[in-house]
Structure 1
Amino acid sequence: MEKQEHYYNAINTKLLDLGLQPHLMSSETLRSIMRIVEQHKDRVNPKAFEATVNWRHTTNHLPTAGTVLPR
């Protein structure tokens, strides 16, 4: 069990240390990404997004890299 009240302050500055400057995603960038997604939506296999873990059982068979999923 996890405590209800606990101290956790995760800070990762490694990317900042390398010179990466964070920026918010603009509406235009999001529109550009969505255009690309729309162009390639026929390549998406919905089976790849289905849950594969059953939390009611202790054994689960997860697909491994290279597994061909049914469409």
Structure 2
Amino acid sequence: MFRTGNDTPMAIGKLFAGRAASSLEHVLLPRCRLAPGRYDMMFARYGVRWPVTLAPVEDGEPHTMLVRGRVPL
């Protein structure tokens, strides 16, 4: 996970698919806290950055984030 326009990695974590396969909302469990906002998500297997928006999940763990945007899942 990179902040948009920055080359310094911010966090790594696990990404889980949303409720529907075609959904643009997914759940991210980062290894450290991230502030809500715009990020570039990069998957090691693809080497391409995907622009996403992170938002907190209201009924989840404090560090769990909702990912909005297209990602290759």
> Is the TM-score greater than 0.5?
no
* Greater RCO (Cα-Cα under 8 Å, separation 6 or more): 2
Per the normalisation by structure 2, the TM-score is 0.18
- Of Structure 1 and Structure 2, which has the larger fraction of its residues in strand? 2
Which structure has the bigger radius of gyration? Answer: 1
Per the normalisation by structure 1, the TM-score is 0.18
